[in-house]
Amino acid sequence: MRILKKSKVIVSVIMLICFVIGLTAQVSAVEDPEIDLSKLGSVYVYNFEHDMELFTYNPDMSVFPTSTVKLMTAILALENLGDRFDEKVTITEDMLKNVTGNNVGLQVDEVVTIGDLIHALIIGGANDAAYIIANLVSGSPELFVAEMNRKAGELGAVNTNYTNPSGMHHDGMVTTARDTAIIAKYAYSLPKFIEIASMPKYVMPETNMYEYRNIYNRNYLISRSSETKYYYRYATGMNAGSTPQGGYALVATAQKEGLTYLVIIMNAQADEIGDTGEISTIYSYTEAIKLFEWAFANFGYVEVLSSSEMICEIKVNMSSALDYVTLVPEKSLEVYLPTDTDIKNDIQRSYKTVSEELDAPVEEGQVAGMVTIIKDGVILGNINLVTTSAVSRSDFLYMLERIKNFTSSTFFITAAVTAVILSVAYVLYEATRREREARRRNKYRR
C-alpha cells in the first residue's frame, strides 16, 4: 500500500513537472512584449496564481537594489513586530543617527506607534522609519542587516547582499531582478503587506511633536499625489525608488479578472527636459504598464473543454427505450494559457470509457469514463465523462439476460456437463446391468 501511495505521488509530481514545462513552452510561443529594453537594466514578469515566469531580461545581472531593500526591511518588521501595531515607542537619537535621504521627519523624543512606522516604511519609503524599525527588531542597524542577509539566504536570494536597511547607495549592496522577485513573492504572502502597500495615502495621527502627517505612496502606479501620468488602476503595490547609481527600480503588482502579476524593473533610466533637470519620462513606470498590459492581454483562462460537448456514445444493454447513451464532460475545463490558443488545432482529446457497454438502468450524470485534454504532449487536465440521460431497464430483457448469463456461467456449464456424464454413466450402468440379468436368466433356462 505504501509503495502504491509513493507511486501515485511520483506520478503526480511528474505530471506537474510536465505541465509546467508545457506552459513554459507555451509562453515562449507568445511574442515578447514591445518595451524599450535599452532604457532598462533588467526585467522580471511573473504570475502568482500559476507560479510562472512569463518574461525575463537580464534577470541575474547584478544591480544596485535602491529602495527595493525596504521589501526585506518590511518582511522583518512584519514578522517581528506585526502583532504590536498599537505599541508606542519613543524615538531616540541613536535610532536616527544614520538616516539620510527620503524620510517623513520623525524626531528625537517623538512618540509613535509601531504601526505608524511600518506604514511610513512601506507606503512612504521612509528611511527614518527603516532605521527605527532596525533598532526595534535587532537593537542596531548592523545586527538588523545581518538578519536581512540571513533571511535573503534562507529564501534563496543568494546573489543579494545588504549593507543598510533603507536602500541608500553602497557599492557592496547588490541584488538581481530574480532575487528581488523571490523576496517580493515572500513579502506578498505576508498578512498586511499588500494591504498596506496598496494604500495611496496614509494619515499618520498626531504625536507629541507633530499635528499629523500625510504620507503618500511613492509608487506612482498607485498614488497620484505628485505624478498622475503613471497611475495604473489595476496596480496593488509594492515598492518604488531610485538612486543616482542604481537608477529607477520598481517592484509592482497588479490584479485583474482573477490574475495577479508581478513586474520588476531594475536600473531603469529617465529622460530629462533639456538642461532643467526636470524628469519627463521614468521608464520603470512606462514599461511596467506595458508589461502588465501585455500579460493581461496574452494570458488568461481559456476554456479548452465545454460541459456541453458530446465526446462519445456508449452502448446500453437491457433497455427497450435506448440502445446508446451520450457521454459529455462532467464540467468545463479552463486552463491558464496564451489567449490566442487555437482550441481546434492546438488541443487534443483522448477518452476512455469504464467499459465497452453499460447495463440498464443508467442514471443521468452517471460517471462512465474520462476525457484527457492534451496540448503539445502535455496533459492539461482529466475530466470525468457522464451520461446525458437516464435509461430505464426492460424487465423482460433483464430476465433474458439473466437466463443467458446463467446458462453461460461456469457453474451452469459444469452442472450440465456433470449431468450429461452422470446420465451417460447411468445409461451405461443400466445397459450393463440388464445384460448381466439377461445372461443369468439364459443360464437358468438351460
The CATH number covering residue 58 comes to 3.40.710.10
Per-residue confidence (pLDDT) for residue 444, from 0 to 100: 63
Residues 216 and 197 in one domain: yes
Q: What is the DSSP letter of 50?
A: T
Contacts of 316 (CB under 8 A, 6+ apart): 322, 323, 324, 325, 357, 358, 359, 360, 362, 391
Domain boundary among 251, 277, 298: 298
| Angle 220-221-227 from CA coordinates, rounded to 5° | 35
Residues 335 and 279 in one domain: no
Q: Give me the residues paired with residue 357 across strands.
A: 315
Q: Give me the residues paired with residue 247 across strands.
A: 243
Q: Considering only the C-alpha atoms of the chain, give the largest distance between any 2 of them, rounded to a whole number of Å.
A: 154
Query: What pTM, to 2 d.p., does this model score?
Result: 0.81
Q: Does a structural domain hold residue 28?
A: no
The tens place of each residue's pLDDT in the chain, 446 residues long, gives 443 344 444 444 444 444 444 455 455 578 999 999 999 999 999 999 999 999 999 999 999 999 999 999 999 999 999 999 999 999 999 999 999 999 999 999 999 999 999 999 999 999 999 999 999 999 999 999 999 999 999 999 999 999 999 999 999 999 999 999 999 999 999 989 999 999 999 999 999 999 999 999 999 999 999 899 999 999 999 999 999 999 999 999 999 999 999 999 999 999 998 777 799 999 999 999 999 999 999 999 999 999 999 999 999 998 878 899 999 999 999 999 999 999 999 999 999 999 999 998 999 999 999 999 999 999 999 999 999 999 887 656 555 556 666 677 687 678 778 878 888 888 888 888 888 877 777 766 65
Q: Does a structural domain hold residue 24?
A: no
Phi/psi for 34 (5° steps) reads -90, 85
Q: Does a structural domain hold residue 160?
A: yes
Sheet holding 42-47, edge to edge: 52-57, 42-47, 259-268, 247-256, 235-243
Q: Does a structural domain hold residue 77?
A: yes
Q: Does a structural domain hold residue 331?
A: yes
Domain boundary among 275, 298, 321: 298
Residues 338 and 260 in one domain: no
SS3 160: coil
* CA-atom Rg of the chain in angstroms: 37
Residues 283 and 199 in one domain: yes
CA distances from 426 to 100, 417, 418, 422 (A): 116, 14, 12, 6
In whole angstroms, give the CA distance from residue 166 to residue 64. 12
Residues 200 and 310 in one domain: no
Per-residue confidence (pLDDT) for residue 427, from 0 to 100: 84
CA distances from 207 to 122, 191, 432 (A): 20, 26, 125
Q: Does a structural domain hold residue 22?
A: no
Residues 179 and 289 in one domain: yes
Per-residue confidence (pLDDT) for residue 155, from 0 to 100: 98
SS3 406: helix
State the first-to-last Cα distance of the chain, in angstroms, to the nearest integer: 83
Residues 282 and 320 in one domain: no
Per-residue confidence (pLDDT) for residue 392, from 0 to 100: 82
Residues 372 and 342 in one domain: yes
- C-alpha torsion sign, points 162, 164, 167, 168: negative
CA within 13 Å, CB half, 69: 31
Residues 227 and 349 in one domain: no
Domain boundary among 265, 298, 331: 298
Q: What CATH number is attached to the domain comprising 342?
A: 2.60.410.10
H/E run at residue 242: strand 235-243
Contacts of 207 (CB under 8 A, 6+ apart): 110, 111, 112
In whole angstroms, give the CA distance from residue 387 to residue 108. 75
Tally of domains within the chain: 3
Q: Does a structural domain hold residue 252?
A: yes
In whole angstroms, give the CA distance from residue 81 to residue 89. 12
Contacts of 52 (CB under 8 A, 6+ apart): 20, 23, 24, 27, 46, 336
Q: Does a structural domain hold residue 316?
A: yes
Residues 320 and 432 in one domain: no
Residues 358 and 221 in one domain: no
Residues 311 and 292 in one domain: no
Q: What cell was used for 322?
A: 435506448
Give the domain range for residue 423: 409-445
In whole angstroms, give the CA distance from residue 252 to residue 272. 23
